[in-house]
Structure 1
Amino acid sequence: MGNTSQGFSFDLRRLGVLRELRRRGSLARTAEALHLTPSAVSQQIAALAREVDAPLTERDGRGVRLTGQARVLLAHADLIAAQLERARADLAAYDTGGRGTVTVGCFSSGILGLLPDALTRLADRLPHVRIDVVEAEPPDLFTALDAGQVDLAVAVDFAAAPPHTDRRYHRVDLLRDVLDLALPTGHRLAGGGPVDLGDLAGEPWIIGDPASCCGAVARSVCAAAGFTPDVRHAVDDWGALAALVEAGRGVALIPRLVRPLYERRRLALLDVLGARPSRNVFAAVRAGAETDPVLTAVREQLRLTAAELAGRAGPV
């Protein structure tokens, strides 16, 4: 590596491409996430490598992998991004008028069950702040957060979401959303008490796509009960899922957060025997943005609304 002490600088946008490559693991997936071509991604990475005078990728079969130098640079990239966010938050705090626009990215059932009440109260609390909502899930949700297309992310913990230890984000847990077992009213277990999920191992199941948070969580709950569900119907829409259960097409796990979609359906909703399955809902902002006064107000209102929802839903 050459001497970079004189005039060492690089393009922060290219650093963002490198961060996305770390997240996605391949040039093709990175290009798709950033709406670029794989060639353009390669050119951005190559230009960044020239700027820092260090190799950042190396061949790995038909793909590429990050070098040790790239991982060193990425450790600094996370700190740089956080510091820039702190600067932005400090500038926002300078103006105490509470003006501007906040874009919230959220998964679909969070938009249904959590956001309406929170947004209504925020309209009174921050009358000069416009709040836009975008439906998205990890990993795309956090790509948008990194790129500044989203200011605050509301998501569910599952494999595609960043871990608690990811220092690129400041996160706050909002609630544990309990999953009830939904059965047709004529099912043999419909009139009883809590059900051992293992007793339903041979039943037809209605579960969402494994890449979605709802599908991933339901499959992991079944796996913990010792079986792989026989998925007859792959459905991501909770209202459609409830309709199929009501029609006797299968059984499902359904979150309390989306009760407005199924509370009038003829369903048998039962507790699962033992620890109740649930999913953790959290809010995240870019590291360094946690002191932004407007984002702080939005996060706090989400937390208060989530606490009220959890209280109405009962103990986990």
Structure 2
Amino acid sequence: MEPVSETFTVDLRRLTVLRELQRRGSLARTAEALHLTPSAVSQQIAALSREIGAPLTERDGRGVRLTGQARVLLAHADEIAAQLERARADLAAYGSGGRGSVTIGCFSSGILGLLPGVLRGLAERLPHVRVDVVEAEPPNLFTALDAGQVDVAVAVDFAATPPHTDRRYSRDDLLTDVLDLVVPAGHRLAEREVVALRELATETWITGDARSCVGAITRAVCATSGFTPDIRHAVDDWAALAALVEAGAGVALMPRLVRPLYAHRRLAVPATEGEQPSRNIFAAVRTGSEGDPVLAAVREELRASAAELTTLSA
């Protein structure tokens, strides 16, 4: 391979593929996330390698791993992406941000509980800006954010979410959403004001897929309480989950954001002993885009809606 030249060109689309390979760890998972074939991902990485004159991957058993040169390039990739976002934001600010479009990616219960207030506020502030909402969770949500398919990501902190130290994103912590324990109205613990979660170790549980935020958090909360939940029903639709609990099919943790979906049902909602289970909800934009006036308005409305919800649930 040719030595690294002092003047070389980097194709930003190929750089995005390399960043995704770093996140996903394999060609197959990268291809799935970017809707490409593994062969196309390999070709993009090989082309980028030729552009910069340095190897970017090496064989690792049946897969590949990033080289030291790839990690050096990726350290600069964050700064390159951020600078491009700042240029985009400056151009948007020049035009005052009164027109255009913005796409918000958000998890399902956030769409139900948090976004209605945001959409109403944006309709008043920016009536000529088109706002689209896409339901998504990490890691796919952040792949879409990186690719520009969404402009604002609203997510829950859990294992699949980028860490706070990830320089690719500018974050706003929005609110702490309590997870309520819900049991059928005739349950043996329904009349109790306070219940220790470990008392439910032998119960049938209902929760979302293990890869979803509440599914992962439910499993973690139960593990902290000293047991592995017996999950018989994996349901990601909150109204359906509440209906199953009401029918006596099991117990569950449900986010307070979707309380309107279960407040009218024949359920008991005892407090849990000790600190209430909860999850942190945050918003993120690409680093460098903070000056975009439309994105700034979206972030302000998200903070205002979160503050109102926090007050109502206090």
| Common fold by TM > 0.5 | yes
Query: Secondary structure at the residue paired with 1:170?
Result: strand
How many residue pairs are counted as aligned between the two chains?
Answer: 314
2:226 maps to which residue? 226
Residue correspondence of structure 1 range 145-184 to structure 2 within 5 A: 145-184=145-184
Identity of aligned residues (%): 76
Runs of 4+ in 1 over 2 A off after TM superposition: 1-7
Give distance in 2, aligned partners of 1:273 and 1:147. 43
* 2:4–2:54 Cα contact (<8 Å) kept: no
Give distance in 2, aligned partners of 1:303 and 1:179. 20
- Matched residue type, 1:170: S
* 2:5–2:52 Cα contact (<8 Å) kept: no
Post-superposition Cα deviations, 1:212-260, rounded to whole Å, max 9, x if no partner, equal: 1110111111111111100011111111110111011111000110112
1:13 maps to which residue? 13
Residue correspondence of structure 1 range 7-156 to structure 2 within 5 A: 7-156=7-156
- Matched residue type, 1:10: V
Alpha-carbon RMSD across the aligned residues, in angstroms, is 1.0
Query: Secondary structure at the residue paired with 1:104?
Result: strand
Query: Secondary structure at the residue paired with 1:134?
Result: strand
Give distance in 2, aligned partners of 1:135 and 1:307. 22
* 2:3–2:54 Cα contact (<8 Å) kept: no
Give distance in 1, aligned partners of 2:157 and 2:66. 26
Query: Secondary structure at the residue paired with 2:178?
Result: strand
Distance 1:171 1:74, change over 3 A: same
Give distance in 1, aligned partners of 2:244 and 2:144. 33
Q: Show structure 2 runs of 5+ residues with no match.
A: none
Post-superposition Cα deviations, 1:199-224, rounded to whole Å, max 9, x if no partner, equal: 11111100110011110111111111
2:193 maps to which residue? 193
- Matched residue type, 2:63: G
Post-superposition Cα deviations, 1:12-32, rounded to whole Å, max 9, x if no partner, equal: 110000001011111011111
Give distance in 2, aligned partners of 1:248 and 1:183. 8
1:217 maps to which residue? 217
Give distance in 1, aligned partners of 2:120 and 2:94. 26
* 2:195–2:271 Cα contact (<8 Å) kept: yes
Give distance in 1, aligned partners of 2:285 and 2:68. 28
Give distance in 2, aligned partners of 1:112 and 1:97. 27
| Residue 5 (structure 1) shift | 4.1
1:297 maps to which residue? 297
| Residue 7 (structure 1) shift | 2.4
| Residue 195 (structure 1) shift | 1.0
Post-superposition Cα deviations, 1:165-222, rounded to whole Å, max 9, x if no partner, equal: 1000001011100001001111111111221101111111001100111101111111
Segment of structure 1 superposing worse, 6-15 or 135-144: 6-15
1:309 maps to which residue? 309
Query: Secondary structure at the residue paired with 2:195?
Result: coil
Distance 1:110 1:200, change over 3 A: same
Q: Show structure 1 runs of 5+ residues with no match.
A: none
Give distance in 1, aligned partners of 2:214 and 2:201. 19
Query: Secondary structure at the residue paired with 1:248?
Result: coil
- Matched residue type, 2:143: T
Distance 1:166 1:277, change over 3 A: same
